[in-house]
């Protein structure tokens, strides 16, 4: 596992005590895109900041390839994109990446490769304050890749983008997986999560309420004839064969296929 999260708890103590995380445990495999979804205030950003080493948990452990995210070794293993990135906006895109690269001892050649990767070579001499939101996200993705980390932590990377910007960022994320990177990102845009991820965790009130592999259907639709009428039912994967045996005893099976269950439906199930 590239990322192991064990029983992470975090409470904010101020005028109002807020228990943001109540014992989150997750693990990520190398080379997968992992989505993290939930309503506002569920604890998504808090966990992401803990993984990035910005916040410390009250208890629990996080390991990136066996290293704590707050150690120099752990920091080298992850790239981070915050939800609302703040950067040196008077610099050009190329100047900003050069500044970041100087900290890590990277070369101009590395910068040019990253500008090509995120599609910003033509805009590299423009000041960042002139960038659109989509261009800003792409230059920040480039900075997250300067150290060539195996794990990328992105907080709402698609938020606020127009359709073209969303398409560009989604293509970059897919390309990162093709290069063997692991991407952990939060989002509230359900259709984008469904398009991108291998697995998704649903969080609510500081707790993980489901981890789902989207490529494997949880339910199946069965259509069968009973007394001359075509009946349609949906059953859980665990009850599929049991239900088929019952139907065979009283009717004729017409069709069995995976149900098209959307991530939004999973959220609705847990909110009811």
Q: Give the whole-angstrom CA distance, residue 272 versus residue 254.
A: 32
Picking from 123, 79, 124, the residue whose alpha carbon sits closest to that of residue 98 is: 124
pLDDT value of position 181? 96
pLDDT value of position 260? 54
Structural tokens at position 57 = 């948990």
Q: Give the whole-angstrom CA distance, residue 238 versus residue 219.
A: 9
DSSP type of residue 8: E
Can you give the pLDDT of all 272 residues of the chain as single tens digits? 999 999 999 999 988 899 999 999 999 999 999 999 888 888 999 999 999 999 999 999 999 999 999 999 999 999 999 988 888 889 999 999 999 999 888 888 999 999 999 999 999 999 999 999 899 999 999 999 999 999 999 999 988 888 888 889 999 999 999 999 999 999 877 778 888 998 999 888 899 888 877 655 667 788 898 888 899 998 887 788 888 888 888 888 888 876 654 555 555 555 55
Picking from 52, 131, 149, 56, the residue whose alpha carbon sits closest to that of residue 87 is: 131
Main-chain phi, psi angles of 242, to 5 degrees: -60, -45
The torsion angle over the Cα atoms of residues 30, 268, 43 and 186, rounded to 10 degrees, is 40
**What CATH fold (topology level) applies to the domain 3-213?**
Rossmann fold (3.40.50)
Structural tokens at position 216 = 């494997």
Picking from 184, 8, 150, the residue whose alpha carbon sits closest to that of residue 81 is: 184
pLDDT value of position 62? 96
180 near 32, Cβ under 8 Å? no
Taken in order 179, 32, 82, 123, the sign of the CA dihedral is: positive
Q: Give the whole-angstrom CA distance, residue 214 versus residue 200.
A: 7
Main-chain phi, psi angles of 122, to 5 degrees: -70, -25
209 near 43, Cβ under 8 Å? no
pLDDT value of position 27? 95
* pTM strictly above 0.85: no
Q: Give the whole-angstrom CA distance, residue 186 versus residue 38.
A: 9
């Amino acid at each position: 596992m590239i990322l192991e999260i064990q029983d992470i708890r975090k409470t904010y103590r101020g005028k109002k005590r807020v228990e943001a995380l109540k014992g989150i445990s997750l693990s990520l495999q190398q080379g997968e895109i992992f989505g993290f979804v939930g309503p506002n205030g569920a604890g998504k950003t808090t966990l992401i900041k803990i993984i990035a080493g910005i916040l410390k948990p009250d208890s629990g452990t996080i390991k990136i390839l066996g290293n704590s995210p707050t150690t120099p070794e752990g920091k080298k293993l992850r790239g981070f994109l915050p939800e609302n990135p703040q950067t040196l906006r008077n610099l050009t895109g190329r100047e900003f990446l050069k500044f970041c690269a100087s900290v890590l001892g990277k070369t101009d050649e590395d910068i040019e490769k990253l500008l090509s990767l995120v599609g910003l070579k033509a805009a590299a001499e423009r000041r960042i304050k002139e960038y659109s939101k989509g261009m800003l996200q792409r230059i920040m993705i480039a900075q997250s890749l300067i150290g060539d980390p195996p794990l990328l932590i992105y907080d709402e990377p698609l938020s606020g983008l127009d359709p073209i910007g969303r398409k560009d960022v989604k293509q970059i994320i897919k390309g990162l997986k093709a290069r063997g990177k692991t991407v952990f990102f939060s989002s509230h845009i359900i259709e984008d999560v469904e398009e991108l991820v291998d697995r998704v965790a649903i969080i609510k009130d500081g707790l993980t309420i489901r981890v789902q592999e989207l490529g494997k259907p949880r339910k199946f639709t069965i259509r069968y004839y009973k007394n001359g009428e075509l009946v349609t039912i949906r059953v859980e994967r665990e009850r599929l064969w049991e239900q088929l045996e019952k139907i065979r005893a009283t009717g004729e099976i017409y069709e069995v296929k995976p149900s098209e269950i959307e991530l939004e439906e999973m959220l609705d199930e847990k909110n009811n």
